[in-house]
Amino acid sequence: MDSGNLLVPFVFWSLTRYRPIEGGREQDKSPQIIHPFSSPPNHRSPVSEKERKSREGAMDVRQLQRQWIDLISALFREGFLDAQFTQLQQLQDESNPDFVVEVVTLFFEDSERLLNDLCNVLSQQVVDFKRVDAHVHQLKGSSASIGAQRVKNVCISFRNCCEERNLEGCFGCLQQVKQEYSLVKGKLEALFGLEQQIVAAGGSLPMM
Amino acid sequence: MMASPLFFPLALVLYFSPLKKQQIIEHISKVSEAAMEKMKGEIVEEERSNCDNEGDGKLKVRILVVDDSLLDRKVVERLLNKSEEGFEVITVDNGKKAMDILGLNEAETEPAAINDQSIDIVLTDYCMPGMTGYDLLKAVKGQSFPKPIPVVVMSSENEPQRISRCRAIGAEDFILKPIQIKDVQRLRNYAKPNASSPIVGSKRKMKPLELATESGGGSEKRPRLAGVVVA
């Protein structure tokens, strides 16, 4: 009952706090309602440290994702990778999240072993071109299976040199295939490094 | 017989006797519950045997993949598993192991050992050390299995002579590596899954079995089972 006696005067008092805008035809500003019991609103409230870090993290992920897109686009544009690599990416999903890395790692292992064998066979006194061809055939197969197009193309030329028993040609192809392998390996490792950073930062890989 | 003067009143007594009525009702409900349980059991049994075969609604195809390259085996296996063609994939790295799985290695193989792992189709690489894919193809086609096993050869080389050699001894197809999704769909068409014996005496509507369409060699068709349609 006592509070009821105070309520009506209170309502009237709080209405006196309301200040409509003079000449408010355009209504470009909303009327400022000042609550009687609070300080005026401060429109520049400080952003919390947590929120700031979260915003920075999100920007980092976007930056990393852009770098990833740029790198992989370049790999396709410059012919390092072909459509088979895209197929591998499509075979990767939540049930096999590391499929591409696993398969490419197998390619690296195969290639290093085969390049080593090729060096050995080609440096023999009497070169066994059939053995050279067998190794190059395997390297060609592995590179085709992961879409390493430039390595595969050098292997095709390499096999032609073997067929012609062209030793100088074979040495030239060996240097070339080593170079192409080294280039694609470096770029793929950079790509996987970016992927790890994106995932660690809480992002996901862009869908290609 | 009925001792008519007594029968009618007796029937009335029995009919209206609450105790007897209760017993009759209980007996009837017991019998019907037992009948319901039996029918439920039959339904579950039928569905389970269907599920064993059908998986996701299709019969699973057991495919034996033979390739000496671990990388290629991994990619092919993933491709087959991820496709929605219902493959169950077994991989080996050489022709001799493939022969073991198919029960072809023993000198005197008992009939039961022949293809006891129920392989529906073989997918083999052509170039392999030791026993090549061609040798394996020849061995499989030379054996008279209870049900012929289709063999598809894959190779990175598009050599017409190689292809015609393989087809000449009965290869269903020759696929260029690396294999693609469209090749997986072709493989499914060559394979006819080993179905279990049909459920006979069932009064349920049977699903018609899928007949494999063939673009290659064999002319055998799976027998169509007669279904009994529930009225």
Q: Which of A27-31, A121-125, B149-153, B204-208 has the lowest mean pLDDT?
A: B204-208
Q: What pLDDT, on the 0 to 100 scale, is given for residue B105?
A: 72
A141 part of contact set with chain B, CB < 8 Å: yes
Mean pLDDT of the region A62-81: 96
Q: How far is A141 from chain B (nearest CA, A)?
A: 7
Query: Any idea where the domains of chain B sit in the sequence?
Result: 10-54, 57-190
A129-146 and A167-200 helices cross at what angle (nearest 10)?
30
Could you tell me whether strands B151-155 and B87-92 are parallel, antiparallel, or unpaired per DSSP bridges?
Answer: unpaired
Q: Is the dihedral of CA B177, B182, B188, B191 positive or negative?
A: negative
B163-198: per-residue pLDDT in tens?
999 999 999 999 999 999 889 988 988 886 655 433
B7-16: per-residue pLDDT in tens?
666 666 655 5
Are residues B156 and A102, on separate chains, in Cβ contact within 8 Å? no
| A-to-B residue pairs, Cβ atoms closer than 8 angstroms | 44
Highest-pLDDT range among A40-44, A178-182, B58-62:
A178-182
**Following DSSP, what letter does each residue of B24-82 receive, concatenated?**
HHHHHHHHHHHHHHHHHHHHHHHHHHHHHHHTTTS--EEEEEE-S-HHHHHHHHHHHHH
- Three-state DSSP class for residue A146: helix
CATH homologous superfamily of B57-190: Response regulator (3.40.50.2300)
Two structure tokens written together for A2? 């006592």
For B154, name the nearest residue in chain A, comparing CA atoms only: A141
Q: How far is B98 from chain A (nearest CA, A)?
A: 21
Identify all chain B residues contacting A110, using CB atoms and an 8 Å cutoff.
69, 71
B81-115: per-residue pLDDT in tens?
998 888 999 999 999 999 999 988 755 555 555 66
Q: Is the pLDDT of residue B2 over 60?
A: no
Q: What pLDDT, on the 0 to 100 scale, is given for residue B224?
A: 41
A77-112: per-residue pLDDT in tens?
999 999 999 999 999 998 999 999 999 999 999 999
Are residues B71 and A93, on separate chains, in Cβ contact within 8 Å? no
The region, left, alpha or beta by phi > 0 then psi within -120 to 50, assigned to residue B3 is left
Two structure tokens written together for B135? 């040798």
B60 — pLDDT class (breaks 50, 70, 90): confident
Q: What pLDDT, on the 0 to 100 scale, is given for residue B51?
A: 44
The conformation of residue B192, written as its DSSP 8-state character, comes to -
* Cα atoms in the 13 Å half-sphere on the side-chain side of A145: 31
| B185 CB neighbour count, 10 Å cutoff | 12
B49 — pLDDT class (breaks 50, 70, 90): very low
Residues in chain B: 231
**Following DSSP, what letter does each residue of A7-59 receive, concatenated?**
HHHHHHHHHTT-BPPTTTTS--S--BPPPTTSPPP-S-PPPPHHHHHHHHHHH
Highest-pLDDT range among A22-31, A162-171, B111-120, B212-221:
A162-171
Cis peptide before B178 (omega within 30 of 0): yes
ipTM of the complex: 0.73
Q: Which of B72, B82, B127 sits opposite A145 (nearest CB)?
A: B72
The partner residues of B124 in beta bridges, in order of sequence, read B66, B153
Question: Are B49 and B207 spatial neighbours (Cβ–Cβ below 8 Å)?
Answer: no
Identify all chain A residues contacting B78, using CB atoms and an 8 Å cutoff.
91, 96, 99
Mean residue pLDDT across chain A: 85
Q: How far is B226 from chain A (nearest CA, A)?
A: 40
Q: Is the pLDDT of residue A72 over 90?
A: yes
Identify all chain A residues contacting B156, using CB atoms and an 8 Å cutoff.
137, 140-141, 144
Rounded to whole angstroms, the Cα distance separating B188 from B210 reads 12
Cβ-Cβ contacts under 8 Å for B65 (sequence gap 6 or more)? B73, B76, B77, B80, B89, B90, B91, B92, B123, B124
Rounded to whole angstroms, the Cα distance separating A66 from B107 reads 62
Q: How far is A107 from chain B (nearest CA, A)?
A: 7
Identify all chain B residues contacting A141, using CB atoms and an 8 Å cutoff.
69, 72, 156, 177
- Three-state DSSP class for residue B121: strand
B3 — pLDDT class (breaks 50, 70, 90): low
Q: What pLDDT, on the 0 to 100 scale, is given for residue B52?
A: 42
B89 part of contact set with chain A, CB < 8 Å: no
